[in-house]
Chains A and B, each alone.
Chain A
């Protein structure tokens, strides 16, 4: 359950009360006591409202129901007997973690996730800086091919004439062959890809498409970085000059960049860079799929009889998981913020259509292009069918809501029985799992019926059918649970809310009781002690007065008791004061 600390009452212990009273003069006891808080000043109505608000936040529904459901769905895909994605180091929880972090604005990562994450990270040690990654002979060849008849080489970013190192007179006109996407950057991206061999990567990174002639000084500035990084730096420096916050060092840096890169050359460099990087990706994918299909690589180091087919299946499996990300993102988002309101739509159907359109768009622009023909065809067909299927399913579910509710009544009763079980009996994950299975037997029958008769026949492969059904049942169950939660037929929400209100207020009441007991016990004891102590002092004082004894020691005790600092402690002090001051001042 969520955090209760914000509803806590202040805590007051006997020790606190005693310490506060002991530190103050007994004369101030009443004020100290008044200032002690036995309960906070928050109005109970405000607290009730806050509990309501917390309750509406819905995080719990997602965590308690959707997460285990998503996990079991992913698990069924990952451990599917034909796909065996689990062998590639993929786990349901890892994928779920990625799904939870999914955002459309971060789609740029998707491409790299195909290259690095998807292609099974951690299976191979990466060594991006290895010298062997650069093939010198190819660089030389590139230089030879680019040399003009007069022996000069044209700088590909600024059009200047460059010469070979032995003929050039400075780094400014000496030619360097630059890796547009640096070998370092490329290897960082692809070295984890088990479908790519070292040789593939070397060929791609040293390919003519990835090489360009630039001056040595330019190349030194760039290092393992990129033209866009230099450009970024330039813009930043210029901004600093405009705002007047630049240092002399900044001036030097900017001058250096301007000296090396003439007007427009960085833009040209960036253009080449982007093109090369795209080419590299394309080549890598092609190589990866060729390898996968031609059984060139040993998946997970296991050269296998089934490896070829396996790798192909796995590529499809990964693509499916890529697809699940936006799908679950939409489901989570819809549950949290409402199917329609979450995306600013007027009705549930509009909201659904918007959401699925968004998924389709994402798949079209971000997933499909990263796949290669063959896999691409299969996946795009599959996804098209699946999205249509889900849309139809959801529409069907909403249309036959009453039928589901009535037919699934026994399942519902069962589900609530499960929900009511205590934590010790059944964890929330177990509950969700049990409910999922329960619904699988009711709702999903309906779904399967619907699909088998319509779309499923269009899907060829057996395992794809399994995945499709797993996905659909997951989505269907989530939606049904969402609807149940919204409809709240048995007002369980209200009941749960009461339970929460009860927990919190009981905790607060208990604390007030404890505080009051501590306050009462400690202060009454301390007050009684004070009274006795004072009476003893006062009695000594009275006796001394009556018996013509010296009263001063009892007055000094009294002052100590009341935390009053007397300057005159002895009769000598007093005599001294009398002789020094014409008027004594009582202050």
Chain B
């Protein structure tokens, strides 16, 4: 047993050693072969190509997600603004005209501007992804026929090496170009965040000012009503509706002035586009504007 086992183990170790040598030879030969043909250039190019593809894909997904989220965010804000705009015309201005009519006729010009959200303005133009592999690789060692290989040996690997090297350089250039694209995407994401923030500001302007406008209107209405009661108690003709501004306490005139000027500000805000000039006039509001005007005229006739 001893002898056999010794012999067997010797055999095994020889076998291992031989196979190690063969591996080594294989490895060396393939190294030399790759250097000779220039395949190691394309191997490197492949690695870089995969890396940029991966990197670009990741950045692109990140970018697209960001654009989608921020786009939706901005879109909802824009529709919020559109609501504010039509609300200003349909409710607040209407109320102001009605209340003010006790004192003086008021009309509001223009119509609210309903902004259309077009997400293309938030996107980068002329963006180009990673080029196709066959546009970058001038040689494919994996798809080489016998004739190609023979030709390669005969030309001392001269041309294959050159092509492989040039492919590598092309991929390196592509890497640099794609980096620039990624940077543009990153920059665009930051830009979008800032734009969203600027819209936030506008939303706040609308909210606050509309609240103030309402409060001021309430104060003004109360003042006018008080004056009317006062007047009614003094006058014989209870149907006399119009108040003479000249007999009004100055505080109510100041309120009227404040409302008038604040209406001008709100009117500007309601007729403005915030992302771009593209949008449409709200048809209903146009009608509303006409009817508001007619209402005012009618009140005037009444007075």
Contacts and interface: CB of A to CB of B under 8 A. Distances in A.
Contacts of A26: 201-202, 205
Interface stretch (A256-264, A378-386, A556-564): A556-564
A546 interface: yes
B154 interface: no
A3 interface: no
B63 interface: no
A551 B218 CA distance: 14
A574 B260 contact: yes
Main secondary structure of the interface of A (DSSP, over half): helix
B36 interface: no
Interface in A51-70: none
Interface stretch (B23-31, B209-217, B233-241): B209-217
A41 B123 CA distance: 11
A524 B107 contact: no
A159 B253 CA distance: 110
A44 B180 contact: yes
B204 A558 contact: no
Contacts of A531: 201, 204
Contacts of B109: 585-587
Contacts of A550: 251, 254, 258
Contact of B264 (A44, A538, A566): A566
A41 B194 contact: no
B272 interface: yes
A34 B275 CA distance: 7
B126 interface: yes
Nearest to B172: A498
The residue among B180, B199, B211, B267 with the most chain A CB atoms within 10 A of its own CB is: B180
A48 B179 CA distance: 13
A495 B173 CA distance: 10
Given A30-B275, A42-B126, A558-B265, A523 B198 contact: yes
A489 interface: yes
B165 A33 contact: no
A512 B268 contact: no
A505 B254 contact: no
Contacts of A42: 126
A585 B257 CA distance: 12
A306 interface: no
A34, A512, A550, A571, most chain B CB atoms within 10 A: A34
B107 A584 contact: yes
Given A562-B265, A586-B93, A568 B257 contact: yes
Interface residues of B, number: 78
A575 B253 contact: yes
B180 A491 contact: no
A515 B191 CA distance: 10
Given A44-B180, A574-B253, A33 B194 contact: yes
A502 interface: yes
Given A515-B187, A534-B205, A552-B257, A584 B169 contact: no
A584 B274 contact: no
A541 interface: yes
A405 to B, nearest CB: 10
B143 to A, nearest CB: 22
B268 to A, nearest CB: 5
Interface in A500-522: 501-502, 505-506, 508-509, 512-513, 515-516, 519-520
A586 B180 contact: no
A545 B215 contact: yes
B14 to A, nearest CB: 44
Contacts of B254: 550-552, 571
B13 to A, nearest CB: 45
A368 B265 CA distance: 90
Given A30-B202, A538-B209, A551-B216, A583 B296 contact: yes
B187 A48 contact: no
A306 B159 CA distance: 59
A506 B176 contact: yes
A48 B169 CA distance: 13
B273 to A, nearest CB: 8
Contacts of A556: 261
Contact of B190 (A30, A519, A586): A519
A582 interface: yes
Contact of A512 (B121, B122, B187): B187
A494 B125 contact: no
A552 B194 contact: no
B105 to A, nearest CB: 4
Contact of A488 (B108, B162, B194, B258): B162
Interface string A223-242: 00000000000000000000
Interface string B94-138: 000000100011111110000000000110011110010000000
Across the A-B interface, give the 3 residue pairs with the lowest CB-CB distance, nearest first: A494-B169, A43-B126, A491-B165
12 contacts: A30-B274, A488-B162, A509-B179, A512-B184, A513-B187, A519-B190, A523-B194, A527-B197, A534-B205, A546-B215, A564-B268, A566-B264
Given A30-B274, A45-B131, A542-B215, 10 more contacts: A27-B268, A30-B202, A38-B191, A39-B184, A491-B165, A516-B186, A524-B194, A568-B260, A571-B253, A571-B254
